[in-house]
Amino acid sequence: MSKNNNVYTAIDLFSGAGGLSLGAQNAGLAIVVAVEQDKAASLTFKKNHLDTTVINEDIRNIDTQQFELKPFIVFGGPPCQGFSTSNTQTRNLKNKNNFLFEEFVRFVRKLSPEWFLFENVEGIVSFNKGATLKHIKRCFSELGYAISSKVLCAADYGVPQNRNRFIMVGNKSGICFEFPKAQKKKITVAEAISDLPDLKNGQQLETGNYKNGGSTYAKKMRKGSKKPLQNYVSKNEDYVIERYSYIEQGQNWQAIPEHLMLNYKNRKNCHSGIYKRLDPNKPSVVISNYRKNMLIHPFQNRGLSVREAARLQSFPDTFVFEGSIMKIQQQIGNAVPPLMAEAIFKKILKYE
């Protein structure tokens, strides 16, 4: 049943660490099943969603007949390397990840939920000159779903990060879904992380202490947490830290003296997000691969800690990640911000 004993059931596909599910749960949905191929991400999901059955498997090998329920909603974001505008090497039609959306469609076809939510990078809108997105919409329309889609910015929904995501929502009752309105107030980097402990390059502080004070947002993230956990910082080489020292808040690699960047054959090809020191008075830039991009703490000459990056994605401090530091960083960077997800799911439930 879609709704059992006033409980709205949900299945999360390509769940990752569980950003979408956390938002859905906070909105009032019960996540009964999650599917995730990556082992570390699936362990993170299970640790933070004890009542959910987590299937650590390639979705292409899963038979939908094993599910004995008709969920109220199916949601998820198929891997998006092939659609991303930030990775031109994999942005082509031969990338096998481009077609994993067909598995999402398969689950919706077989389980016939009342609603679905499909999430992806904004690059899917222009990929293959829009033909891919038209095909995806046509697949859902043929299954009888009314569709609404939009590129949303996480900063409009209480997340301290300017992160755009493509969201498509469909339902079987012909409802013309309207996305939640943007909030006027934007949460800044300083509001998000200033109460977290000072750290050094490469420091692996398992349990730290909160600083006095803290913004309304910080206090919201700290609810239920006595101490900030997983304050892990990647170790950068000394020459990288020297580069950091030249970069002011809001600046990027262009502020680094040329003699310190000789290993770059062509500096003109450097992405604007490389060696970016965060501006404390604005929402963060996208932190999708914050270790590789070497995003810099606004006040300290080091990279972001795991807990700081989680805060910028709106994961609460009670949320604990599993795996190596590289695996954790990947999980955080790939996640859908829970606060943005919560706003969308709350709006969906208002139609019921």
CB atoms within 10 A of CB 117: 25
Q: Are 116 and 170 in contact (CB under 8 A)?
A: yes
Please tell me the number of Cα atoms within 13 Å of 328 on its side-chain side: 21
Cα–Cα distance, 27 to 278 (Å, whole number): 30
Task: Kindly list the distances between the CA atom of residue 118 and the CA atoms of 30, 49, 137, 221, 277, in Å, as whole numbers in the listed order.
Answer: 18, 21, 10, 26, 32
Q: Given the structure tokens 């490389």, which residue do they identify? A: 274
Instruction: Give catalytic residue positions.
Output: 80
- Residue among 270, 288, 296 at smallest CA distance from 334: 288
Please tell me the number of Cα atoms within 13 Å of 79 on its side-chain side: 19
Cα–Cα distance, 306 to 260 (Å, whole number): 27
